[in-house]
């Protein structure tokens, strides 16, 4: 049985909602399903069908990058939207399920994100062209899930609302010492210092991010209250009243969750409060995308709440509040991708079209994942003492 025939049977069996038109390498046309939405794709490589049957996650992304797989009608997000609507959270073919199981096992026994490997893993993504991130992020370069109060919120407004929401959960008091683990370009740390008059230390492993954050601290006159350090969180030794980490936990690695929360406990004063904001899986533990790990986030892992909770318990911390943001990240990614595509020509000048297709695939596939496959954003508030936070959540919704 040829791979093309197997792919044909798979699509015939699964594509029911909407229609998919496939133009093969020999210009042959096959149609699957019926009705809207209608998506047309073209496969230009005769070997691609076999690669898709063996390892669809990585083969599809690489084919889109090199141009051997294109979307002729609609765009790549429309293709993902159609696939998720028909395949759901399952992997469809037994080979795909077997591959996913193997990757989950590898994640559990692997020991990525060591002190020696972590800097290279982080810099491969965050030390790209400084201009690149300014072309699709908001003005404060918040590279994490925004907080949408209405569907009419702009990206800028939603990111400002995210900062205020996070600050409220920290219950900051003037003069407190705050640690920002994985501080990015410094926007959150500067915001906390400005609105709450606290002292903030931001840690990052990206030289580009550190340089940008220090420059912003000087420009805003906050360099006397905010300092940014090129340091792994495991090497930090001071104690803090508040600790926050946004979008960094995905880089910790499954095998190091207990190490992370143990270190967080050691850095937190007895009546302190910590807050972790991380991408997560509401569908349970998963293997993630091998394409994303190879080309976008080396060493990354999207955790399930069950994986996080057991590590928190073993570290002797209390989870004092958990909030699950549904679809907020999907909307954030939609906004990022729109801005990225509007600046495609400039990104191609900095890199090339292959890089643009790679990032288009990354942003589109992630948006589809947050809309259809159980990806969410977790806010987890933590403390050493069970009475460190108020008994109700009302304080989170009052302005700081």
* Chain segment 266-284, per-residue pLDDT in tens: 999 999 999 999 999 998 8
Q: In whole angstroms, how far apart are CA 149 and each of 152, 280, 330?
A: 8, 21, 14
Extract the residue ranges of the chain whose pLDDT is less than 70: 1-5, 88-119, 121, 287, 399-400
What is the Cα–Cα distance from 18 to 83, expressed in whole angstroms? 10
DSSP character for 34?
E
Q: What are the extents of the domains in the chain?
A: 3-88, 118-397
The pLDDT value given to residue 400? 44
Helix ranges (DSSP H) in the chain: 3-14, 48-54, 56-66, 76-87, 94-109, 118-126, 130-134, 155-170, 187-196, 207-219, 257-267, 290-295, 305-314, 328-342, 344-350, 353-372
Distant-in-sequence, close-in-space partners of 58: CB < 8 Å, separation ≥ 6: 289, 290, 291, 294
Model pLDDT for residues 342-357, shown as the tens digit of each residue: 999 999 999 999 999 9
The pLDDT value given to residue 97? 43
Q: Are 92 and 47 in contact (CB under 8 A)?
A: no
In this structure, the chain runs to a length of: 400
pTM: 0.91
Active site residues: 366
CATH topology of domain 118-397: Rossmann fold (3.40.50)
The pLDDT value given to residue 11? 85
The pLDDT value given to residue 115? 67
């Amino acid at each position: 049985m040829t791979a093309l025939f197997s792919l044909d049977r798979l699509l015939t069996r699964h594509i029911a909602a909407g229609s998919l038109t496939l133009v093969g390498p020999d210009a042959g046309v096959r149609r699957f399903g019926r009705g809207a939405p209608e998506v047309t794709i073209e496969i230009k490589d005769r070997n691609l069908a076999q690669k898709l049957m063996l390892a669809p996650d990585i083969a599809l992304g690489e084919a889109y990058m090199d141009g051997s797989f294109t979307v002729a009608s609609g765009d790549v997000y429309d293709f993902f939207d159609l696939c998720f609507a028909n395949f759901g959270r399952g992997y469809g073919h037994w080979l795909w399920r077997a591959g996913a199981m193997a990757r989950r096992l590898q994640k559990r026994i692997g020991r990525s994100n060591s002190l020696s490997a972590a800097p290279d893993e982080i810099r491969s993504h965050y030390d790209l062209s400084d201009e690149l991130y300014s072309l699709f992020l908001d003005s404060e370069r918040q590279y994490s899930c925004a907080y949408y109060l209405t569907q009419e919120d702009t990206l800028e407004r939603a990111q400002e609302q995210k900062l205020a929401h996070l600050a409220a959960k920290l219950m900051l008091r003037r003069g407190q010492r705050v640690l920002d683990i994985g501080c990015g370009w410094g926007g959150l740390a500067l915001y906390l210092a400005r609105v709450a008059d606290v002292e903030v230390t931001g840690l990052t492993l990206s030289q580009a991010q550190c340089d940008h954050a220090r420059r912003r601290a000087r420009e805003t006159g906050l360099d006397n209250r905010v300092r940014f350090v090129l340091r792994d969180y495991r090497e930090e030794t001071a104690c803090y009243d508040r600790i926050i980490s946004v979008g960094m936990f995905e880089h910790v690695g499954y095998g190091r969750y207990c190490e992370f929360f143990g270190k967080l406990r050691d850095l937190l004063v007895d009546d302190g409060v910590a807050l972790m904001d991380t991408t997560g899986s509401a569908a349970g533990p998963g293997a993630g995308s091998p394409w994303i790990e190879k080309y976008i986030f080396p060493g990354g892992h999207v955790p399930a709440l069950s994986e996080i909770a057991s590590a928190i318990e073993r570290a002797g911390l209390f989870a004092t509040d958990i909030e699950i943001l549904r679809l907020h990240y999907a909307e954030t990614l939609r906004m990022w991708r729109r801005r990225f595509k509007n600046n495609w020509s400039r990104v191609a000048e900095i890199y090339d079209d292959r890089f643009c297709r790679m990032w288009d695939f990354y942003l589109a596939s992630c948006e589809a994942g947050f809309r259809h496959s159980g990806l969410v954003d977790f806010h987890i508030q933590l403390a050493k003492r069970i009475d460190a936070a108020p008994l109700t959540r009302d304080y989170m919704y009052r302005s700081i």
